[in-house]
Amino acid sequence: MQLNSPRPISFLHLTNSRIILYGREIPGGLRRIGLVGPANEGRKRELKTAMTKVDPVSMLSDSVRVPFENARAMPPIVYTSEEFLDRETRDIFAKEWICVGRSSSLADPGDYLTYELAGQPILVVRGRDGRLNAMSNVCLHRMSTILHGSGNVRLLSCPYHGWTYNLDGSLRGAPAMGNNRGFCKQSYKLPRIRCEEWLGWIMVTLDENASPVSQRLAEIESLVADFQMAEYLEAFNENFLWNTNWKVLAENFMESYHLPVCHAATIGGHSKMDEAVCPPGRPAFNFHTILKDGSLPISVAHPKNVGLVGDRRRTTYLLSIYPSLLITLTPGYFWYLSLHPNGVGQVRILFGGGLAREFFGNPDSDRQVSELKELLIDVNEEDRKCTERVYKGLCADLARPGHISHLERPNFLFAQYLAEKVGGFERQFD
């Protein structure tokens, strides 16, 4: 085959008319080494055979196997590779606990939400006994999805032929099935999925053997015990789809380095970067803290809050619960993003927020909620622009991962977590 580069090919990028060839370059980059056109399937197959495979998993583990003082951002290929996304889906999203919202969003029996977790349609519904039931959202007849969106139902009713299920997933009715001798209503029950409520968060996992959330995240419970996170009341939630890789947005949330610049028009001036503290990571999460100056009154403790003392009254926790629950917990309000990949270049986002209990039930609370929501909409828009620009940049031929600041320690910890989950790296904790 006639190639316009003698160097080993590691990666192919198929455009509308051409195949771009890349070779591996350390640290963490791919170098464009040639072009072939026109791009047809036969040529692509031949080139694939000639490739010296770039393994994004080993590129990531190479990049995190350095002291933090020398650390760089993750290699671009871990954000753009379909193969890496498959590994994340299999090893992370199909195994870890994923947040699908706040418990208060499913307060009453019949309240439900639907979610696609690692490609599996699931539903979560509050049962008549007050417990949450998570189960497959695939009908046991001819396998239609059953519920869509969120809302309140009396029964789970399939929109195709009308089979109905009780809120615990047992089959309740199936019209015109009496002549099938093999059909036994009692033997049909939607497969259950594990679901736990933890400090007001609804967590689900496809892994039957995953250790309980309360065990995994016990350290967070003691870390922020005086905040009483379970008591914060959600006032709004929405779903977004942004054009960036899920990790770009997760990383954006877990560092406050970008606040003064990306958020100059909103919250950038409310916190001092020299007071940010980025402690070592823990197995299931990382966090950092910043101190707020009180220019936004709900970001510091309410006078009625006697549980928080000293600097804790103006401390904000930025909690990154692996893989994708990102919580900003201030003494007066909270907000969060829960992320799920939607292909390599898109992320599904559940966004919500609300106030600490002391701020509710007073004449100002409605105004404070709407001001908070307006502020966060502006903040999100700033983050959307920044993270979509990063994804565009990552996809460029000349994208190279640079060194990171001490304020981006959580990003390095997150990269190590990912490298461990997809294989090839083992984290050490004290």
Stretch that binds ligand FES, among 155-163, 187-195, 225-233, 351-359 (CB under 6 A): 155-163
**From the CB of 151, what's the least distance to ligand FES, in Å?**
18
Map residue 88 onto helix, strand or coil: helix
Please give the torsion angle defined by the CA atoms of residues 67, 419, 283 and 198, in that order, rounded to the nearest 10 degrees.
140
Instruction: Enter the DSSP assignment of 93.
Output: I
Element (H, E) at 355: strand 347-355
Nearer to ligand FES, 158 or 339 (CB): 158
The binder of ligand FES chosen from 139, 250, 254, 337 (CB under 6 A): 139
Stretch that binds ligand FES, among 153-161, 200-208, 290-298, 335-343 (CB under 6 A): 153-161
Nearer to ligand FES, 162 or 283 (CB): 162
**From the CB of 320, what's the least distance to ligand FES, in Å?**
39
Does 160 sit near ligand FES (CB under 6 A)? yes
- Tell me which residue of 283, 349, 352 sits closest to 321, measured CA to CA: 283
**From the CB of 335, what's the least distance to Fe ion, in Å?**
11
The binder of ligand FES chosen from 39, 47, 78, 158 (CB under 6 A): 158
Q: Which residues contact 402 (CB under 8 A, 6 or more apart)?
A: 72, 73
Map tokens 């007050």 to a residue.
130
Nearer to ligand FES, 170 or 370 (CB): 170
Does 165 sit near ligand FES (CB under 6 A)? no
Does 161 sit near ligand FES (CB under 6 A)? yes
Nearer to ligand FES, 3 or 138 (CB): 138
User: In this structure, how many other beta carbons lie within 10 angstroms of the beta carbon of residue 26?
Assistant: 9
d(CA 32, CA 13): 10
C-alpha to C-alpha distances, 384 to 252, 287, 318, 325, nearest whole angstrom = 10, 22, 18, 17
Q: Which residues of the chain form contacts with Fe ion (CB under 5 A)?
A: 383
The binder of ligand FES chosen from 142, 182, 428, 429 (CB under 6 A): 142
Q: Which residues contact 287 (CB under 8 A, 6 or more apart)?
A: 220, 223, 279, 317, 318, 319, 320, 410
**From the CB of 168, what's the least distance to ligand FES, in Å?**
18
The listed partner (ligand FES, Fe ion, none) that binds 163, CB under 5 to 8 Å by sort, is ligand FES
**From the CB of 312, what's the least distance to Fe ion, in Å?**
23
- Output the DSSP codes for 384-405: HHHHHHHHHHHTSTT--PPB--
Nearer to ligand FES, 141 or 312 (CB): 141
CB 230 within 8 A of CB 217: no
The listed partner (Fe ion, ligand FES, none) that binds 357, CB under 5 to 8 Å by sort, is none
Nearer to ligand FES, 160 or 183 (CB): 160
The listed partner (Fe ion, ligand FES, none) that binds 242, CB under 5 to 8 Å by sort, is none
**From the CB of 183, what's the least distance to ligand FES, in Å?**
13
Residues binding ligand FES: what is the number (CB under 6 A)? 10
The listed partner (ligand FES, Fe ion, none) that binds 161, CB under 5 to 8 Å by sort, is ligand FES
**From the CB of 401, what's the least distance to Fe ion, in Å?**
20
Please identify the residue of the shown chain whose CB is closest to the bound Fe ion: 383
**From the CB of 429, what's the least distance to ligand FES, in Å?**
47
Cα-atom radius of gyration of the chain, to the nearest Å? 24
Nearer to ligand FES, 145 or 214 (CB): 145
The binder of ligand FES chosen from 7, 18, 141, 427 (CB under 6 A): 141
Nearer to ligand FES, 143 or 225 (CB): 143
**From the CB of 317, what's the least distance to Fe ion, in Å?**
15
Helices 246-254 & 409-422, crossing angle to 10 degrees? 140
Instruction: Enter the DSSP assignment of 145.
Output: B
d(CA 156, CA 100): 19
The token pair at 347 is 């992320």
d(CA 195, CA 174): 27
d(CA 147, CA 115): 10
The token pair at 404 is 């990171």
Task: Determine the residue type at 75.
Answer: P
| Residues in contact with ligand FES by the rule CB under 6 A | 139, 141-144, 158, 160-163
